[in-house]
Amino acid sequence: MHFSPDRPTFFVNPDYRPMAGAAKPVVDPATLETVGAIAAASDGEIDAALTAATRAQAAWKKLDAKSRAKHLHAVANALEAADFTRCAELMVREMGKPYPEAIGEIANCAPIFRYYAEMARDDAGKVAGTTQAGSFQYARYEPYGVSVHIMPYNFPILLMCWTVAASLAAGNACVIKPAEATTLSTLDYMTVFRSLPEGLVSCLPGGAATAQALITSDRTHAVAFTGSVAAGKVVAVACAERMKPCVIEAGGSDPLIISQHAPLDVAAAGSVTAAFHLTGQVCTSAERFFVVDSVHDRFVELFAEKTRALRIGNGMDKTEIGPLVSEAARAKVMRLVDDAVRNGAKAVTGGRIPPAHNTGWFYEPTILTGITPDMAIVREECFGPVAAICRVKDFDEAIKLANDSPFGLGASVFTSDLAEAHEAAERLEAGMVWVNNPLIDNDALPFGGWKASGLGRELGRQGLDAFRRSKMVIIDHRPAIQDWWYPYPDSWFRETGGRKHV
């Protein structure tokens, strides 16, 4: 069966299968037109995917590292050879991101499979210094079994590949639960896994109930989740109740500091992308700005000038700012902005629905000044195109206010002072710190947050270790009776009133 956006399907490698559940329309957030249809996986469909995954993983885990790497390189080859125009267009129409970002996201996926293909070949155990002569003592690493991947809508393909590539490299089978808002593009993408063994990768559409069924199943053994803090906590608790390992990337409200030593032209340009990339719907978007007093006015002037140049519109047109993913998402942004303005903030740009875009869930990129640390927009994750600027007296106050948050995903700084750069890297309470270049990542470096922003790490060696468990192995190649084994010699005891004590 071929994939069609108009017909609800699920995927168990290498096949698309029709779904029995009631169809639900997928609506374009820019035009409110129907894009296609999806359904939630039934118990039988979940069972079919897990049965196939269990069978496939039993053979996959036995493959040698070189063979497993060859399979992952084949996925990368398929990615580089495929035409993903339809997949990218579906992503634009499902969730609104500009087409260059959709196609660019997909283009960035092949390297992660190549990285973990080679990481899998470097899977040597760690040999420890022996605690006993004649004993070979080491650690080996083995897969968990079947991993569950619960994906967000903002980067539905890239973030899926981060954890799926690592899990496959570790020897697991993977079951993907896509975000409801980006199910169609995720399903369309599944063809790249057809070179892998039958049943090794599956994609099961659905909502929270589908995710819960996969997490609580006795036939799944590890979970990767990206989404809101509230949902992340629910996932973490469900996993903890079953002693099931999980990686949780739960978003945040990232700070961005503008030092008195910042190169303001660079800082203003970088801040536009940091705050408004993907209409601010990025977990690591800069939401809370702390600008040192001496450069505050000039920075705001430059930042506003560059922000006003951004084009708002349908992601299939020439635009940087598409719609928010849903009416509820825009309503939250509007609530936080309106609350800040009522409490004394000023909208330098935006703060409204663009007059030319009454249809769809559009909102102008917004810069707020006069922000105070007690405002709701500072305490909550906004997840929209809003930069909330707080004026601070110096770099030290900026660091302290940046850390005054329940979140700790990423943090950005613009400065040309090397001492400030190092101090920021040391003092900022976040899993990632960017100096003069926000938002970038590296396949070889761990990605994840502190505090409420998550548990565990994706990417790098830690990203691989998240999907495998260690085993200590002790081998005495010359079997011998050890002197500490039972029974103890009498000389080890001391006499006390007719009783012997060790």
Reading the block at residue 170, the tokens are 């570790």
Exposed / middle / buried, residue 501 (Cβ in 10 Å: 0-12, 13-18, 19+): exposed
What is the CA angle 166-249-408, rounded to 5?
130
The answer to whether the CB of 406 falls within 8 A of the CB of 281 is: no
> 414 falls in which pLDDT band (50, 70, 90)?
very high
For the domain with range 9-251+453-470, which CATH number is right: 3.30.70.1280, 3.40.50.720, 3.40.720.10, 3.40.605.10? 3.40.605.10
**Cβ-proximal residues to 374 (8 Å cutoff; 6+ apart), any chain:** none
> Helix 65-81 crosses helix 158-170 at what angle (to 10 degrees)?
160
Residue boundaries of the structural domains of the chain: 9-251+453-470, 254-435
Is CATH 3.30.930.10 correct for 254-435?
A: no
Quick check: is 249 catalytic? yes
Across residues 68-79, what is the average pLDDT?
97
Reading the block at residue 192, the tokens are 């790249």
Catalytic residue among 109, 283, 382, 390: 283
Q: How far apart are CA 135 and CA 149, in angstroms?
A: 40
Look-up of token digits 């943090």:
411
Fold match flag (9-251+453-470 vs 254-435)? no
Across residues 115-120, what is the average pLDDT?
93
- The confidence score (pLDDT) of residue 455 equals 97
Residue 202 has pLDDT above 60, yes or no: yes
- The confidence score (pLDDT) of residue 458 equals 98
User: What percent of the residues of the chain are helix, what percent strand, and what percent coil, each to the nearest 5?
Assistant: 40, 20, 40
Quick check: is 320 catalytic? no
Beta strands in 252-373 (DSSP E): 254-258, 286-292, 346-349, 366-369
Across residues 101-130, what is the average pLDDT?
90
pTM, whole model, 2 decimals? 0.96
> 125 falls in which pLDDT band (50, 70, 90)?
low
Reading the block at residue 242, the tokens are 């079953």
Question: One-letter amino acid identity for 408?
Answer: G
Across residues 225-230, what is the average pLDDT?
96
For the segment 252-310, what is each residue's pLDDT rounded down to a tens digit? Answer: 999 999 999 999 999 999 999 999 999 999 999 999 999 999 999 999 999 999 999 99
- The confidence score (pLDDT) of residue 122 equals 80
Catalytic residue among 249, 320, 381, 420: 249
